[in-house]
Amino acid sequence: MRSPLAPGIRLITSFSRDSWYRGFILLLTFLFYTAYHLSRKPISIVKSELHRNCSTVIRPPGINITNNETWCDWMPFDQDNYQTLFGVLDNSFLVAYAIGMFISGIFGERLPLRYYLSFGMLTSGLFTCLFGLGFYWNIHSLGYYAFVQVMNGLMQTTGWPSVVACVGNWFGKGKRGFIMGVWNSHTSVGNILGSLIAGAFVSSAWGMSFIVPGLIIAFTGILCFFFLVEKPEDVNCSPPQHHSEKENEETEPLLQNVPNGNPTINGGVSAESPVTVHDHTEAISFTGALCIPGVVEFSLCLLFAKLVSYTFLYWLPLYISNVAHFEAKQAGDMSTLFDVGGILGGIFAGLVSDYTGGRASTCCVMLIAAAPMLFLYNSIGQRNLGTTIGMLLVCGGLVNGPYALITTAVSADLGTHESLRGNSRALSTVTAIIDGTGSIGAALGPLLAGLISPTGWNNVFYMLITADVLACLFLTRLVYKEVRGWCGRSSRARGIKDI
């Protein structure tokens, strides 16, 4: 008698070859961007070690101390303007990241993603390690650390447009919000792991807080080189359906092919009828990407949403340390709860937007809810441990939910917009425009926090609440359009029922 297949083998064979490849690419790109964020996090943990309250630190025997208040600080961060100096480090990275992001998407569509990502992760690992080596080389120059941050910021721009383009190539629009909501948890997972790794070394040898994450992202760069598959067609898998046949029939393409092979912007003069093809060899232009409906609105919304998220990313551990009087490691560990909330918020936003079809409305509702929660967190969030945990989880979900949705599902939707049918190479540029604009806010947030925090943390939170409201306002037109669409469908459904 022939025995049945083992349960594990039956499970393996129940999935198609395409499904296995899609799952593999999703896992691989998840690991890649987890490593990117993991290597960004150490600076926020190490800040509270670079400048400490030295009067509470036990002095090692045999050390000649000239200043009782700054003897344990790392020069040049032992000065009274240390918060401004921290702001210089943050913005050296973030301004370079914002500028480089607009260029990165253009390169990402013209270079093989496997090579581009591998190069970016290896060089980012190098500069992350160089920051940590400043501890062992006893470097006390602000210029050195600022230069390393600038170069790291530029190298980190290779990541986001490339991984979103890759995932967009493999997955269609149907469950994109949920899939990318789960997948986008790599941002928060990277922040959590980065906090834990940096926290493990921060009190003993803060240089290792950078060197270990640097080695990790360099290793993932090697994985990328050997295993990444950019498109399903490269391994004879079926490509995904990015939009429905009805959308294809009803929507006039923004980029059209004319018989001589030159694409023209919709509305341009052409004597011939447009011919739709399935793939372009020519990537979309920057201005062409801006013409895609919704790109400008979501980009400006992300500018303010990312301002809030990155202010928390870079300043939350120091805020917890100052207000709740936690040690550097404890403050870093506590700040990971904000990222845990971000994971849940991203998945929730993806599920709701898939079910309702309203990406903009989902973002707007969460942004509106985030504003009062930020006020409450600053007012009562440090009263006891339970309140702190609960408020960090809720604030993390409401702040990072819209940010995650815009940078993943929305970017992929717009980059494969039905008005671009025939052009499969717009996704990286669209993603770079949206995330690049958001990165301007990411640079402004920590900078403003550094300038405002000496006047009191209350003013920092007022700034964050204002940014949330502004982010919501930029989505007004798109929310109105989505609501009108829902009302129209509801009216048609009632009419059919009456007949």
- The pLDDT assigned to 256 comes to 39
Q: Which of 54-63, 199-208, 432-441 has the highest mean pLDDT?
A: 199-208
Q: Do 400 and 379 contact (CB within 8 A), yes or no?
A: no
Q: Which DSSP state fits 79?
A: S
Question: Tell me: the pLDDT tens digits for 201-230?
Answer: 988 889 999 999 999 999 999 999 999 998
Identify the residue with better confidence: 323 or 473.
473
Amino acid of residue 486: W
* C-alpha distances out from residue 490 to 354, 482, 483, 486, 499, Å: 18, 12, 11, 6, 14
What are the domain boundaries of the chain?
A: 15-52+76-238+286-486
Q: Which residue has the tokens 């020069």?
A: 75
Question: Tell me: the pLDDT tens digits for 99-128?
Answer: 888 788 777 777 888 999 999 999 999 999
Q: Which residue, among 407, 352, 406, 341, has the nearest Cα to 374 in the 3D structure? A: 341
Q: Please name the residue ranges forming H helices in 77-112.
A: 82-110
Question: Tell me: the pLDDT tens digits for 21-40?
Answer: 989 999 999 999 999 999 99
Query: Poorest-confidence range of 85-99, 302-316, 318-332?
Result: 318-332
Residue 67, Ramachandran bin (φ over 0: left; ψ between -120 and 50: alpha; else beta)? beta
Q: Do 414 and 434 contact (CB within 8 A), yes or no?
A: yes
Question: And the tokens for 144?
Answer: 């050195």
Q: Which residue has the tokens 């920051």?
A: 131
Q: What is the mean pLDDT of residues 265-294?
A: 54
Q: Which DSSP state fits 465?
A: H
Question: Tell me: the pLDDT tens digits for 440-465?
Answer: 888 888 888 888 888 888 999 999 99
- The pLDDT assigned to 47 comes to 85
Residue 257 belongs to what H/E stretch? strand 255-257
For domain 15-52+76-238+286-486, give the CATH number. 1.20.1250.20
Q: Which residue has the tokens 């092979």?
A: 261
